[in-house]
Amino acid sequence: MAQRTGEEAAGYRREDASLPSTLIMWRRGSGRRRSRSSSPHIMVSVFARGLLKRLVTRIYFPDKEDAVDPVLSYVEDQELRRTLIACNEGGALRFDIHLQGDKQTAFFGF
């Protein structure tokens, strides 16, 4: 197995937007402890041409989302909350990010 260095080793990855929108990512735990009141999730930042600021969202794992999670429970609209949870498709997780429209992903402001 090739040794990874730099940003990729730290868990960051850049994806070329001109390529097909399939991304396969494997990330080991960082060793940091997360809050017990937080469901397992992946933080995602979206940078794109035309966006002045990054967009921030979370990916929650199916069957792991918890109503006690403070961030997930903040999203009251069930349809919008559903955009934060990955779908299990035959053993692979799928998470689509929609910047606008009827299926727009929930984004968080900081």
Domain boundaries, the chain: 34-110
* Residues 99/30/86/65 CA torsion (nearest 10 deg): -110
- 0.75 cut: is pTM over it? no
Beta bridge pairs of residue 81: none
CATH topology of domain 34-110: Protocatechuate 3,4-Dioxygenase, subunit A (2.60.130)
Question: pLDDT of the chain along its 110 residues, tens only?
Answer: 444 444 444 555 565 655 554 444 545 444 455 555 678 888 999 988 888 999 999 999 988 766 678 888 888 899 999 999 999 998 888 999 999 999 999 998 86
